[in-house]
């Protein structure tokens, strides 16, 4: 089966990325997921958002996976962030312009609908202190494709030392490759 046909078939099924594919395969899958386009998704009563992600995307991150959600079911993904999961009441600390579009170990990846910026921050701290991850969704996706190239080719999936601390050359390499894409303010240690 040709790669393009296989890729389309996998995308229709909601492909999950694993670490045994080539960087070009990852980049192609990220680009295909991002640019197929989907209709606007209702995220709250009457409010809609157009997310250019047609399928749930799960990619290798540092010690876990980074998940970007497709439009379907996006409202449910707000549970525990924008509203209380038991009562359904809005959570006061969550801005109405914030929309969870993914996570990395339950740390939300947020689209700020007011600015278009992509934000993230740690969960479980008792307050939300989100910081920039990328200026917009397109640049986030570009950065993720570069990240996958770095992770799989340059570092061959080996990111940590024997004590499970991210190696300095990994941090330096990621910073050097991603700063031109997302800017200094989006790169954190």
- 50-97: per-residue pLDDT in tens? 555 556 777 778 778 888 887 667 778 888 888 888 898 888 889 988
Query: For position 54, what pLDDT does the model report?
Result: 58
Q: Could you list the residue range(s) of the whole structural domain that residue 36 is in? A: 3-186
Q: The whole model's pTM is what? A: 0.73
If you average pLDDT over residues 121-146, what whole number do you get? 86
If you average pLDDT over residues 19-37, what whole number do you get? 50
CA distance 39 to 52: 9
Q: Which residue has the higher pLDDT, 95 or 39?
A: 95
Q: How much is the mean pLDDT over the chain?
A: 74
CA distance 99 to 106: 14
Query: For position 144, what pLDDT does the model report?
Result: 83
C-alpha pair distances (Å), 78 with each of 49, 125, 147: 14, 17, 26
* Number of structural domains in the chain: 1
Residue in this structure with the two tokens 């080719």, named with its chain if needed = 153
If you average pLDDT over residues 166-188, what whole number do you get? 89
- 23 CB neighbour count, 10 Å cutoff: 16
Check: CB of residue 90 under 8 Å from CB of residue 82: yes
First to last CA, the chain: 42
Rounded to whole angstroms, the maximal C-alpha distance in the chain is 51
């Amino acid at each position: 089966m040709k790669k393009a046909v296989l890729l389309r078939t996998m995308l229709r099924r909601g492909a999950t990325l694993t670490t045994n594919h080539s960087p070009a395969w990852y980049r192609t899958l990220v680009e295909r997921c991002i640019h197929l386009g989907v209709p606007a998704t209702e995220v709250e009563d009457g409010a809609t958002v157009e997310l250019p992600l047609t399928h749930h995307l799960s990619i290798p991150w540092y010690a876990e996976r980074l998940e970007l959600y497709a439009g379907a079911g996006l409202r449910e993904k707000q549970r525990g962030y924008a509203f209380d999961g038991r009562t359904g009441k809005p959570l006061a600390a969550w801005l109405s312009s914030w929309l969870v579009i993914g996570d990395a170990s339950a740390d939300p990846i947020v689209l700020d609908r007011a600015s278009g910026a992509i934000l993230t921050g740690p969960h479980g701290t008792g307050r939300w202190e989100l910081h920039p991850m990328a200026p917009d969704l397109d640049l986030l996706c570009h950065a993720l494709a570069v990240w996958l190239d770095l992770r799989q080719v340059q570092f061959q999936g080996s990111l940590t030392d024997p004590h499970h601390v991210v190696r300095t050359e990994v941090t330096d390499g990621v910073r050097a490759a991603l700063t031109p894409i997302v800017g200094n303010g989006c790169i954190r240690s």
